[in-house]
Structure 1
Amino acid sequence: MKQLIKPFLCLPGNLKACLLFSILCLSGHLHAATINVSSLSALQTAINNAAPGDVIVLANGTYSASTDITISKQGTATQPITIAAQSIGGAVISGTAGFNIVSPARYIVIRGFKFTFNASQATMASGTSFCRWTQNVFETPGEGENLLINGNDHEVDYNTFQHKNALGRFIAMRGSGSQICQRIHIHHNYFLDHNPQTGNGAESVQVGLSGYSLSSSNSIIEHNLFEDCEGENELVSIKASAVTFRYNTIRNCPAHLTLRHGNFNVIYGNYFINTPGVRIFGDDHKIFSNHFENCNPAINVGNGDGEVADGDALTVHDRPDRVLIAFNTLVNNPANIIQAGRTNGLGATAITIANNIVQGGGAAATIAGPYTGAVWSGNMLYNTNGDGDMPSSGYTTANPLLARDATGTFHLQSGSPAIGAATGSYPSVTTDMDGQPRTSSLEIGADEVSGAPVIARILTAAMVGPNAAGNPGTSCQPVSASADDGNVPANVLDGDLNTRWSANGDGQWIQFCLNNTVSVSSVQIAFYNGNTRTSTFDILTSNDGAAWTNASTGRVSSGTSLNLETFTFTARQAKYVRILGHGNSVNAWNSYTEVNIPTGSARQDVAAIKNSAAPEMNLNTSPNPFSEQATIHFTLPDAGRTRLAVYDMNGKAIAVLINAQLSAGQYTVPFRSDKAPAGMYLLELQHNGRSCTKKLQKL
């Protein structure tokens, strides 16, 4: 039976409705749609007609591109235009052309393809913004870049870049005029097998060029794995200012991370293993909380041949000035901290090398060039081949009691002389190598003993690349963010309203992994300065961390409270929750002091583990209450990483009694509290991801 459709008449009484209907019809869609295509020409047509929220799916198969697939459409923050393969890796695009995202494109997602077309055919032009490449494989032959980035606020995540055997880079970031592209977020990618080249210009990642070096990028490169990359002597070349490189693992790459041009870059929480480590030129950089193992050398302070601040060309090796190198752990490196000689070299000035652990390997420091105004303080040496050129006033000699855990990372053990022994004040050092916040009485080296969530570790191939995103077998970060200003995401889970996460700009986000897909119906947020200004934000949810749906939009805080405020929405199943910020009533900053996701937050998952784990670990104390000393008893059912700590009721750690790899069995540990005032305390035992707690009362 045929369905009759009445004509829509544009009569005088409904001209406004008629106009709206006409606009919707001309746009091609009355609402977001899924469009399935099976050829590149159909793909281009669908892209040309796309509306915000559309998902364009290319059927699995192999396609050869001879003309560019050009994208100039605009999605929105909550309704991006997605161009996806039918299944991850199922659609292969080869040929002499590729994807070309051009101005004014924004909020475009390209997901799940394998690209084998020629190099330099995946590009984003100036004037584009908020585009994302996710879960793709780039294996593009020939000279040129596998992915060229211009424009601002782009994201490149969970891709694999592999098997490059020509000049060019896996990723190159450029800009417009003298301004480098801004707020680029590159994370959870796998960079594999970059074969050595004979010419210059084969870094795996290049951020900028000398002409952009004095412009700030405010970009973040984090949680990426580099293995077997050796295109040239520079693995990652940073030629811009204000770039953050953190929580990456570089393993078996005979090439170094180079701060080649630019100033104010921050390098922290990275794992350098069997690689030349970091080479430094330029001014006011901060290198802290990094793990260096079997690196030759680990840290190379450049010997400048020019001084840009005095008018020398941007292309010189700019003399390093006012660089902070602190709180790093260096183990078994043939060369630890060096500065090579240079004919007529300018050397480096005002370099601070403080609170680093140097264990094993060659001399602690070898300095050949001019090195004026240097500060050496609080370093700890153990079993090195001498102190070299490190002055005796700049270090102590002691066994830091480092032990390698199951991830391969060196952590401080209970009783380490490095715990609480750091000297000096370094407010910019906010995070350790595990992504845990650093608090007062800092530890020497890269590890801060902490009970805060661990958000970084030595990466494996299973944790990055297309198959890691949303993989139920892959543990996810409890909290992550699009950016931060040094007030890190983990601060919103520390139970302290005096710490915060902050990021500047409309569209910056912070997200939470709930470990499992659960029902969520609200978010609780405490806002920084929440009693003097309102903040605007959206709430999004996802089951895989790639495809997001709106839970609630246009939410506004009360402007009257510093405490947690609850924002409800219709219940839905989700593994990830994202808060998308739109600034506040005073400026464009997004800043939250605490966040809780009821019925599934990382914090509540930990609480559930505590309750279920308590009986089998049999944590007890005697006497309780106590006056001077209590004896703690517990049982470990299996071997593993164990941490026993005492906290005051504000959540501040006052004593770490054990932080070590222990065998199964029964343990007795004394706890003296001579300096602690009378009151109630919390004892926490963590073991192999489980935890249990016990209250202690001191009389």
Structure 2
Amino acid sequence: MKSLFYSLLVLLCAVPSLHAATVNVSSLSALQTAINNAAPGDVIILANGVYTASTDISISKQGTAAAPITIQAQTIGGVEINGTAGINIVSPAKYIIIKGFKFTFNASQATMASGTSFCRWTRNIFQTPGEGEDLLLNGNDHEVDYNTFQHKDALGRFIAVRGTGSQIAQRLHIHHNYFLDQQPQSGNGAETLQFGLSGYSLSSSNSIVEYNLFEQCEGENELISVKSSAVTVRYNTIRDCPAQFTLRHGNHNVVYGNYFINTPGIRIFGDDHIIFSNHFENCDPAINIGNGDGEVADGDALTVHDRPDRCVIVFNTLVNNTTNYVQSGRTNGLGATSTTFANNIIQGGGPAASIAGPYTSAVWSNNIVYQANGAGAMPSGSYTVVNPLLARDATGTFHLQTGSPAINAATGTYTDVTVDMDGQSRSGTKDIGADEVSTAPVIAQILSASMVGYNGADPAACLPVVASSDDGNVPGNVLDNDLNTRWSANGDGQWIQFCLSSATTVTGAQIAFYNGNTRTSTFDILTSTDGASWSTKATNLVSSGTSLNLETFSITATTAKYVRIVGHGNSVNAWNSYTEVHIQTSSSARQVADETITIKETLSSYPNPFKTTNTITFNLEKDSHVQLSVFDVMGRQVALLVNGNLNAGLHRVPFEAKGLLAGMYWIKLLNNGKSMMKQIIKE
């Protein structure tokens, strides 16, 4: 009876997937009909072409977390929708994915209503003319990623976030977008990203804005305007933008790991913000602590410039800024109270600090000032004049060099300061400034256009193999032709994922299982063409339980670039563990590691294996932009060796691997849209 109940339960849970379909349409009316009839898991594909919308495409359907409804262009950027109407996602829509379109319809025509949730805009181009927002976000738990917002020449924002009543939208994730070319306007209301309004400012959003690139944006004096509480802004690059990032209204916001280059930096109003591990270069000013004209906590209107209270500004690096840390004057200004400015590095540029308003109960502590035009308002005893030994590295940022007096020299606890500008963990006695000297993987850096936007590529997105987790038996072990090494991860749903050099016909997988002669393992096989939308090709496959060698599991031939094996444990415990995996294609069963190297002769490394230093060699057929990176077996970038334009010809780049653990790494060369990879071994 128990077995029968379980079988019925599985059948009932599987019913929605039986309705999933791929629906191809070639008109906006057919698109609307398909949306109206959509079921969870459906993929609706609009044929490439240019379409004119005169009535909104309205979406109110609901997918599920496991089976979202996807509405996508035939190819990324291949569908343009113009006209006077656009896309309107309305309540109770949830789990909707909008992917791959170019929107050139009028501004304010891409909207999401309150009551919507778990929707995603990805790989789209927004270039909407006229006044208004390119994208208006209401509702909760939405994701906006890998979109390009460009060429705005009217009042309005690229993205505006709103809410319901006095509650700002919650748990949004805005990441890896490219904001480009916003022309200056004469009126107010042309921020690049406006997160909330004063009426929402006392509500918490618990949202994350990260890994976005802002270039040449100057709609008005504010670039990013945060007007709500509890927003995390991290790992973004703001470059060559004449507008300023402002914490305009709200409290308890966190700003860290951002790169401010040739821009007016950050301005701060409100209470209890923490700003740490940011990199400021050639800014004017770098950090502006606001001079308040009201105090919301005392009953002043939410629209005032709320006096900053108890803000913590620590562990930042400021280099060659015209103005470093400043508070501007204001008639009858209230200034700021209880501000902490500690463990920062200020090198070059104007005076270290310039304070023109009330600045009561301030804490100044343990800063380094070097080659700046004096300490200015920074009190004696709160700084040391010493060379911090900063040097620009391959990522373009200033890092601490061996022997720096900033290393292990921070004072104070600052438990909220957990990472540096590279995303590396800080523990024990911290280093002064934005950089923590570490051999941990680098997960953040100055962003380039190739890393973000509709056509951006995550540098680790097409490594030969990555996994959801491991126990020290890393995923690269399944590609080393050694049945004595393995990948292992504990728990139902842990996965290992393979990336082919390009989309090809996949027919199955060969898997050798750890202890495969004494236990059976259960798993699924999923495929994807883009690494974002997945199709399940086989479920509840079970190994033989009698072999340590490769076993073949076939699927219906399908076009894919990514293959994911999702484990459900084994007959003894919840561990998933494979010693070798080969992905089978229509031509042959071959290792993914070899497939990703399209022209092996153009990328080489000597010696290999190596101890601490080797030389990477590659040949360019023509002048082009090149990105040369090194990744560990988990797909984490550990070094960026080249990121810029190189001339045609042979290039040799030294790789210094001191501090890296012994093991397998991958060299990745991105050039003219092509990716080449080579495995190297550090002894």
* TM bucket, shorter chain: 0.7 to 0.9
Give the secondary-structure state (helix, strand or coil) at the position aligned to 2:50: strand
Q: Deviations over 1:263-306 (max 9, x none)?
A: 01011111100000000000111111111000000000000111
Return the offset for 1:688.
7.9
Relative to structure 1, is the Cα distance of residues 570 and 376 closer, same or farther in structure 2, using a 3 angstrom cutoff? farther
- List per-residue Cα deviations over 1:607-655 (Å, max 9, x = no partner): xxxxx98955753xxxxxxxxxxxxxx554369x9xxxxxxxxxxxxxx
Distance 1:263 1:406, change over 3 A: same
2:177 is equivalent to residue 177 of structure 1: no
Q: Provide the C-alpha distance between the structure 2 equivalents of 1:286 and 1:67, rounded to a whole number of angstroms.
A: 45
Shift of 1:376: 1.2
Change in CA separation of 1:552 and 1:426 when aligned onto 2, cut-off 3 Å: farther
Where do residues 216-365 of structure 1 align in structure 2 (5 Å cutoff)? 216-365=204-353
Q: Which amino acid in the other structure matches residue 56 of structure 2? A: D
RMSD: 4.4
Question: Could you say if the C-alpha distance between residues 436 and 472 of structure 1 is closer, same or farther in structure 2, counting changes exceeding 3 Å?
Answer: closer
Query: What residue in structure 2 maps to residue 382 of structure 1?
Result: 370
Ranges in structure 2 where 5+ consecutive residues have no aligned partner: 1-7, 475-492, 515-523, 541-551, 568-574, 582-592, 594-603, 618-626, 628-638, 643-651, 669-678
* Aligned residue in 1 for 2:390: 402
In the alignment, the residues of structure 2 paired with residue 578 and residue 311 of structure 1 have an alpha-carbon distance, to the nearest angstrom, of 57
Do the aligned residues in 2 keep the contact of 1:413 with 1:660 (CA within 8 Å)?
A: no
Going from structure 1 to structure 2, the CA distance change for 1:456 and 1:227 (only over 3 Å counts) comes to same
Alignment partner of 2:530 out of 544, 554, 557? 544
Greater displacement, 67-76 / 388-397? 388-397
Query: 1:664–1:91: structure 2 CA closer, same or farther, 3 Å change rule?
Result: closer
| Percentage identity across paired residues of the two chains | 66
Aligned residues: 564
Q: Which runs of 5+ in 1 are unaligned?
A: 1-16, 481-489, 496-508, 525-537, 555-568, 581-593, 606-611, 620-633, 642-657, 672-680, 695-699
Tell me, in whole angstroms, the C-alpha distance in 1 between the residues paired with 2:183 and 2:565: 38
> Which region of structure 1 is more displaced relative to structure 2, 429-438 or 405-414?
405-414
Q: Where does residue 615 of structure 2 map in the other structure?
A: 637
Counterpart CA distance in 2 for 1:48 and 1:256 is: 43
1:189-230 Cα deviation digits (max 9, x unpaired): 110000000000000000000000000001111111000000
Q: How far apart in 1 are the matches of 2:269 and 2:53?
A: 42
Larger deviation, residues 269-278 vs 372-381: 372-381
CA distance in 2, matches of 1:103, 1:539: 34
Q: Which residue does the alignment assign to 2:521?
A: none
Q: Which amino acid aligns with 2:421?
A: M
Assess, with a 3 A threshold, how the Cα gap between structure 1 residues 102 and 163 changes in structure 2: closer, same or farther: same
Q: Is the 8 A contact 1:455 1:478 kept in 2?
A: no
Amino acid at match of 1:417: P
SS at match of 1:637: strand
Q: Distance in 2 between matches of 1:204 and 1:597?
A: 47
Q: 1:462 aligns with which of 450, 468, 473?
A: 450
Match of residue 174, structure 2, among 176, 180, 186: 186
Shift of 1:423: 1.0
CA distance in 1, matches of 2:657, 2:187: 62
In structure 2, C-alpha distance between the alignment counterparts of 1:468 and 1:347, rounded to whole Å: 42
Measure, in 1, the Cα distance between the counterparts of 2:376 and 2:576.
Answer: 48
CA distance in 2, matches of 1:73, 1:145: 24
Shift of 1:418: 1.1
**Is 1:89 matched up with 2:77?**
yes
The 1:684/1:493 distance shift into structure 2, 3 A limit, reads closer
Q: Is the 8 A contact 1:492 1:595 kept in 2?
A: no
1:311 Cα deviation from its structure 2 partner: 1.0
2:606/2:616 contact within 8 Å kept = no
Matches of 1:494 and 1:254, distance apart in 2:
48
Instruction: Spell out, residue by residue over 1:299-352, the C-alpha distance to the aligned partner (whole angstroms, 9 max, x if none).
Output: 000001111111111111001011111111111000001001111111101111
Q: Distance in 1 between matches of 2:565 and 2:444?
A: 19
1:395 CA displacement: 1.1
Contact 2:20 2:39 in 1 (8 A): yes
Residue 56 of structure 1: how far off its partner (Å): 0.6
Q: Is the 8 A contact 1:469 1:545 kept in 2?
A: no
Residue pair 2:605, 2:614 contacting (<8 A) in 1 also: no
Tell me how far 1:172 sits from its aligned partner: 0.3
Do the aligned partners of 2:451 and 2:459 also contact (CA within 8 Å) in 1?
no
- The answer as to 2:193 corresponding to 1:215 is no
1:415 is matched with which residue: 391, 403, 411? 403
Aligned to 1:648: none
Q: Which amino acid aligns with 1:392?
A: S
Alignment of 1:501-520 (within 5 A): none
Q: TM-score, normalised to structure 2's length?
A: 0.73
Structure 1 pair 119/449, CA: closer, same or farther in 2 (3 Å)? same
Give me the TM-score of the superposition, normalised by structure 1.
0.72
CA deviations on 1:138-182 (whole Å, 9 max, x unpaired) are 000111100000000000011100010111000000000000000
Letter in 2 for 1:425: T
Distance 2:172 2:471 in 1: 23
Q: Which moved more, 1:197-206 or 1:467-476?
A: 467-476
Conserved 8 A contact 2:465-2:498: no
Q: CA deviation at 1:73?
A: 0.3
Distance 1:401 1:322 in 2: 31
**CA drift at 1:474:** 7.4
